[in-house]
Amino acid sequence: MTTTEPEISEEELAQYDRQIRLWGLDAQKRLRQAKVLVVGLGGLGAEVVKNIVLAGVKAITLLDHKEVTENDMRNQLLLKPSDLGLNRAEASKGATQELNPNVIVTADTTPLYNKKDHFFKEFDVVCLTEVPVDVRLKINQICRMESVKFFCGDVFGFYGYSFADLGMHEFVEEVKKSEDAIHVDTGEPAAKKVKANKVDGTEETVLVKVVDEFCSLEESFREDWNKRSKRSLRRSSHVYFIVQVLESFMKLEKRTPCHSEGDRELLLKLRSEVLTNLKLPESLIPPEFVQFCVSQLNPVCAVTGGVLGQEIIKAVSQRDSPHNNYFFFDGRSYNGIVDQLSPP
């Protein structure tokens, strides 16, 4: 990110007052310098856009070559009835700009697969939704080479997930104060820098620098599930395996599944193939998942998009520990799990 960005204006200080009190002025300044690309303006993409625009990034580019469908009208919060048939990025631009006039909002209708490698290095963060796995893998490698923070995610009915690759990421977090703790001045108000209350005896905390390393998306696919203990495997989210089945379906059919007998039969067949290839029992994916993996449900988009937006904000502001590296959400059980998948 650049370091020549002008100071935050009085108007912005007033607008972001609560956020500055929460994570500090320096963190807000880093947000104010960030340029973010969000690909895919479906239900999940719209939730991500909403959250990071309200947080106060410098600029956001909405990239989508698809047209607004009836299904989009039901699960995309940035659209209005008259947008049916229009480009999704262009249709979402107006409502996005209204969320925060201080953010530069751009709509890009060019297909993602037509973008050259140098396009992505213009951004501090790239977030992909509704993008095929082979394209995600390619763009993740480009982002790693250009030191661009990479995120991706998707929602399939009741199931949602997100992934983050921040490379070698440095951030600050609050820890209990100790003799060897190194205090970091990050522009927070005094009350936020040190949380000490000698009256009620609460523990004193300080801000310290931490460095965490993330693996690539491709490396995360090399997780050796057979080396996990049965207890560890049970704690892992079955949503990961459901997503792998859905990825196989979309690779074959070039679309997401629908409520048809043929699609249900194919999903069950692919379930067996995926788990057999991973040398895992079929019990990890309950067969009834075929009834709950269609379309993008608003509540699941809201939860998954909320987490994904939060992680982008943490990555840009360099405040607090980010999820390394997956988040899975099961809307049927209201259960969210953070799991780190990495090469053996």
* Domains recognised in the chain with CATH numbers: 10-167+298-338 (3.40.50.720), 168-213 (no CATH), 221-291 (no CATH)
Q: Which are the contacts of 64, defined by CB distance < 8 A and separation ≥ 6?
A: 39, 40, 41, 45, 87, 88, 89, 92, 108, 109
Indicate the angle between helix axes 25-33 and 298-317, nearest 10 degrees. Answer: 110
Average model confidence (pLDDT) for the chain?
88
Report the pLDDT averaged over residues 261-272: 96
Question: What do you get for the CA distance between the two ends of the chain, in Å?
Answer: 33
With a pLDDT cut of 90, the percent of the chain lying above it is: 70
Question: Tokens 């104060």, residue?
Answer: 177
pLDDT-derived band at 207 (thresholds 50, 70, 90) equals confident
pLDDT at 158 over 90: yes
Decide if pLDDT at 26 tops 60: yes
In tens, the pLDDT along 46-105 reads 999 999 999 999 999 999 999 999 999 999 999 999 999 999 999 999 999 999 999 999
Secondary structure string (H, E, C) spanning the chain: CCCCCCCCCHHHHHHCHHHHHHHCHHHHHHHHHCEEEEECCCHHHHHHHHHHHHHCCCEEEEECCCECCHHHHHHCCCCCHHHCCCEHHHHHHHHHHHHCCCCEEEEECCCHHHCCHHHHCCCCEEEEECCCHHHHHHHHHHHHHCCCEEEEEEEEECEEEEEEECCEEEEEEEEECCCCCCCCCCCCCHHHHCCCECCCCECCEEEEEEEEECCCHHHHCCCCHHHCCHHHHHHCCHHHHHHHHHHHHHHHHCCCCCCCHHHHHHHHHHHHHHHHHCCCCHHHCCHHHHHCCCCECHHHHHHHHHHHHHHHHHHHHCECCCCCCEEEEECCCCEEEEECCCCC
For residues 88 and 64, the answer to whether their CB atoms sit within 8 Å is yes
Helix, coil or strand: residue 8: coil
pTM above 0.85, yes or no: yes
Q: What pLDDT does 268 receive?
A: 96
**Between β-strands 125-129 and 159-165, what pairing exists: parallel, antiparallel or unpaired?**
unpaired
Residue 218, both tokens: 């491709």
Based on C-alpha coordinates, what's the Rg of the chain?
21
Quote the pLDDT of residue 197: 42
* Rounded-to-integer distance, Cα 28 and Cα 19, Å: 8
Give the pLDDT band (50/70/90) at residue 4: very low
Q: What is the DSSP string of 125-142?
A: EEEEES--HHHHHHHHHH
Triad 135, 140, 141: Cα angle to 5°: 105
